[in-house]
Homo-oligomer: A and B are copies of this chain.
Amino acid sequence: MPSTDLTFPDRDAHRAWLATQAVLPAGFRVGTTRFEFMPREAPKPARMTLTLVALDRPTPDFAAVFTRNAFPGAPVLVGRQRLLEPALGAIIINNKISNVCAPGGVETAERVAGETARLLGLPSHAVLPCSTGVIGWGLPADAMIQALPNAVAALAPGSAMPMAEGIVTTDLYPKVRRATVGKGSLVGVAKGAGMVEPNLATMLVYLLTDVAIPRDALRGMLQRAVEASFNTISVDSDTSTSDTVALLSTGAVPCENLAAFEAALLTVCQDLAEDVVRNGEGVRHVIRVALTGAPSIEVARGLGKAVVNAPLFKCAIAGNDPNVGRLIQAIGKYVGSQAPSVDLSRLRARIGGIDIFADGVFRLNPEKEAALVAHLRQAELYASAPAKDGVFAPPIDFPPHERCVQIELDLGAGSHQATVHGGDLTHEYVSENADYRS
């Protein structure tokens, strides 16, 4: 569930609000630098931003979770090793190239991390490297190492905005969420699910806090928060080879209430997860599926995912068409193939608070149909229109509102529940991923 219900009349209002969220806890500094380079695999120059996050002192209290894709990127392989290290002092992040299945990828990631550590006076394994961008290309290590001193020189405390802006690729806008916990605070920054000229979407999330939480507790909390936030969203059902969520604590502010911190962490993660969907590729409607009465949490989340991943239903939402038959199809497909023991005879379904299905049959009439269309229209983020060249591009670079298409499903078959977010399937999605030529 979202913590906010914001609306933004324009870009400036959104950026002003972001600044209120992007307050770095003491002990963190961020710096970025941008440079041009020549990829080995492409005929023309490209641009890369390096984003550096540095702690005033290395911390033992850090946590990270990574993609479950069986072809993880080199930085993911390195990051898993970093979890065994005694302390982390910095994160170095590049966009444009994801360093996945490229020859010598791990060595290159370690070389960039090692040079970052040298400049900061850290042990070389105290730097976490992260990459997002084209899959299959190799990192331009020499150009990155040449640019690193500029990122170090740019390090500054106070605001996480340079970081939020530095890690994006084709995101429409930066994503930052903040919570205060006692005398401390937690700020989270996310990138994705933007498209990466013209390769795979990647989600990167960084959570920075000064609240003192021991490493083991921090890792348990992050795992639980990710399960109930980033693991309950889907823009297009494709799983990135680079997904990474990292949480670092300076430990400067004593924690008075572990539960309050965990609740704040969950809220920030859920808000960022919803931001990622709202800014998802081509998303014009955010779809929120609230599932209750499930026999297990797996079925609750699985059914929610099945609904937001069903292409025909997603297309109907894009068209403001309350095609309830496609919703039932998606539920029936999931139960028939994944959870055949679930009894669907007690399913009750509502869209926008309107009852549409109960006792195995639809409950439809022309008045409900009109109300459903109105519900879909109020949740639309922007109107769709192709440019003169036939390519569909989103006309906004801020989120005008946080309204969703609200779908409530009660299975009447247990006490488990879940909320899942996804997006519609639009011409903007196809244009971003098919019309672009590499």
Instruction: Give CA–CA (A199, B335) in the complex, Å.
Output: 20
Q: Among the listed B102, B337, B340, which residue makes an inter-chain contact with A239, where contact means beta carbons less than 8 Å apart?
A: B337
Give the size of the chain A interface in residues (CB under 8 angstroms): 75
Q: Is A9 an interface residue (CB 8 A)?
A: no
Q: Is the CB of B238 within 8 A of A198?
A: no
Contacts of A38 in B (CB 8 A): none
Q: Is the CB of B102 within 8 A of A70?
A: no
Instruction: Give CA–CA (A208, B321) in the complex, Å.
Output: 39
Contacts of A68 in B (CB 8 A): 336-337
Q: Mark A356-368, 1 if CB is under 8 A from B, else 0.
A: 0100111010100
Q: Is A45 an interface residue (CB 8 A)?
A: no
- Stretch of A11-19, A84-92, A290-298, A426-434 contacting B (4+ beta carbons < 8 Å): A426-434
- Assembly of this chain: how many copies? 2
Q: Is the CB of A329 within 8 A of B436?
A: no
Contacts of A337 in B (CB 8 A): 68, 239
- Give A306-353 interface residues, CB cut-off 8 Å to B: 309-313, 315-316, 318-321, 323-326, 328-337, 340, 342, 344
Instruction: Give CA–CA (A236, B333) in the complex, Å.
Output: 13
Contacts of A319 in B (CB 8 A): 433-437
Q: Is the CB of B438 within 8 A of A434?
A: no
26 interchain pairs (CB within 8 A)?
A69-B332, A69-B333, A70-B332, A70-B334, A70-B336, A70-B342, A71-B329, A100-B325, A101-B328, A101-B362, A102-B362, A136-B325, A198-B321, A198-B323, A199-B326, A236-B312, A237-B311, A238-B330, A315-B434, A318-B430, A319-B437, A323-B438, A424-B434, A425-B430, A427-B427, A427-B434
Chain A interface (Cβ < 8 Å from any Cβ of B): 41, 43, 67-72, 100-103, 134-136, 198-201, 236-241, 309-313, 315-316, 318-321, 323-326, 328-337, 340, 342, 344, 357, 360-362, 364, 366, 385-386, 390, 424-427, 429-431, 433-438
Given contacts A238-B330, A321-B436, 13 further A-B contacts (CB under 8 A): A70-B332, A71-B328, A71-B331, A100-B328, A101-B361, A101-B362, A102-B362, A135-B325, A136-B328, A198-B316, A198-B323, A318-B430, A321-B438
